[in-house]
Structure 1
């Protein structure tokens, strides 16, 4: 990381409100200059069943905003699914979109927002800064502690025919308001708590060691890793711990801020084909890949590992950077075991015959591979996948 001639860019949501039970005060935190009259809320059935959406609708009603609710967004939606949704909601007269859910719902809301105003297909917007106009204003409320999508200019969509996930990246995807309410995460199942938590940790870890790491990203990445390290096991073993849930949700958001300022790297590049072809949950894929990609990267990043070790609570003050790096690796492996993260791609139907195709797909994710601190070639990537068979 040579900072001598670098400039640093940081952008995020227009407003962020965080705190327990903050969902019920959404109307108060919308900009008073807004003349919102009709909102469309995208969420999951569990949020409706638990009463949180009624709470949100009441908060909007106090601001004079009528709200409709839909629960029809698929998990990890495809490009065709979102294009169909865009047709369904066109002409509905909504002037505010609200996403209450995990990363799939938040990303879908961001993409639908700009589809409504740009007259372009999703494929025409894949890439960086290809969205030409602002979208419908959005409010994003995460209910999992994983993607950090609520504060990033990125949105991921699945292209089944290419067996790959691709990103729309644009400042026009940034929300008008982000609400961080840990109460909404209390009902998360253990498996999702584990996968999304490791996803958030990977965001911060990769942002910290990436080629674009800078003082902004480092600040958020270190705090994110600190919060997640101290609470990921506790939130998994005691889901009712609001303190642990709050740590995880803030840590996830900080991870999103870190990747916005810096960007992720090879772990994510290799994870996308696993999700696109074999439907492996993104957080699980990241958790499986992180130790193996890190070991391949090690000769380029070991000097950064003592800071990571300190952030996750390891005492390495009298140890070499190389030994500190090994302890970090051991801790990551220990988390995957404690959290019951699978470590064998064969469980998902991946075999030796699939490795060439996965590798070729990963190599297409040039945006992220270019951010990796070490150049990875075909055999490097294939070897990483093979480690998980």
Structure 2
């Protein structure tokens, strides 16, 4: 019998519902917190106000720390750690998209720790987390509120670097669809495609797992049913909650199985060209699927069915129909379709291909081996 044992990383407490945000204050109080640091970003800092007020009502000191608007760098992490030390934080909350939550995870892990960020880059190198942690997503894409992963941009290497550790899984997660209603259409679209990529890459994966498969396919179905409506009707709470649940399911996939070539090839787009993560993934997703379908049509056919494609009995044809549906969905929600649309020229592609090859922790998960020549060909197809 095949060994299918994996680590199913779980948040201890997940609370779901409209206005569940303020419940975090009572959980902080129950945990004995006295100095709570809320890490967010300036465009959405106002969303932290109800939580800050609820903490005030319980006489818990709190600091709303506005981190970077984009993806955090090593310098941003050092600044946030210094702020946590100055404030004497004893509990950390990440409120925002993946960037804010990833920054919060690393602050909670590295606050007054003998380890530095450089010490913990990679898998299972983090010794412990020093502070309790809660995460509250305001986008529906990364699923960071449930993952054992945090990503930071290395400015010098012009590449994103990941920390993977069970110690990064938050103690509490809060899924409040109302917090996602203020997302601009473009962010709704790009984060939704990010969640779709998580689910697809976890399902069509060299290390796929039957439990994770169910999460992934359910997440794909939810995105197919809700993303367009969430973009067209931003205050539709049912659509917003559907996307938030899809993102959460995608995040649950990332600990035990993780992503593969799409994410590895997307890293140089973020590190060098500062393309938003969800956009980078969506630009590459169809081309990586076409590359992988040459070897693994069956799994991609199942992806297509979850997207709403009617089966024809020809797995390869159905898999390609799924790619066409992804491209249609990207187009209708307004996502850029080509690397050239975001300012990347053919001259940049060889360097990007070489950089992508350094992300072996993800490339090893891909159903088909990706060489540097393959990576370059995929970028060329996406140009």
Partner of 1:68, secondary structure, is: strand
Separation in 2, partners of 1:305, 1:386? 22
Q: Which residue of 2 aligns with 1:257?
A: 252
Partner of 1:90, secondary structure, is: helix
Partner of 1:69, secondary structure, is: strand
Q: Which residue of 2 aligns with 1:13?
A: 11
| Structure 2 segments unaligned to the other structure (5+ residues) | none
| Structure 1 segments unaligned to the other structure (5+ residues) | none
Separation in 2, partners of 1:90, 1:383? 47
Q: Which residue of 2 aligns with 1:148?
A: 143
Shift of 1:80: 1.9
TM-score between both structures, scaled by the size of structure 2: 0.96
Partner of 1:300, secondary structure, is: coil
Q: Which residue of 2 aligns with 1:219?
A: 214
Contact 2:304-2:323 within 8 A present in 1 as well: no
Q: Which residue of 1 aligns with 2:122?
A: 127
Q: Which residue of 2 aligns with 1:108?
A: 103
Partner of 1:83, secondary structure, is: helix
Partner of 1:43, secondary structure, is: strand
Contact 1:83-1:122 within 8 A present in 2 as well: no
Q: Which residue of 2 aligns with 1:363?
A: 357
Tell whether 2:374 aligns with 1:377: no
Tell whether 2:322 aligns with 1:335: no
Alignment of 1:286-301 (within 5 A): 286-301=281-296
Q: Which residue of 2 aligns with 1:42?
A: 39
Separation in 1, partners of 2:309, 2:344? 35
Separation in 1, partners of 2:266, 2:199? 16
Instruction: Encode CA deviations 1:347-366: one digit per residue, 9 max, x unaligned.
Output: 33322221111001000000
Q: Which residue of 1 aligns with 2:181?
A: 186
> What is the RMSD of the two structures over their aligned residues, measured on CA atoms?
1.6
Which of residues 169, 173, 187 is equivalent to 1:174? 169
Q: Which residue of 2 aligns with 1:25?
A: 23
Shift of 1:212: 1.2
Partner of 2:318, secondary structure, is: helix
Shift of 1:112: 1.1
Separation in 1, partners of 2:43, 2:74? 24
Separation in 2, partners of 1:20, 1:214? 32
Q: 1:100 to 1:242 in 2, by over 3 A?
A: same
Partner of 2:153, secondary structure, is: strand
Separation in 2, partners of 1:234, 1:74? 26
Partner of 2:355, secondary structure, is: helix
Separation in 2, partners of 1:4, 1:360? 35
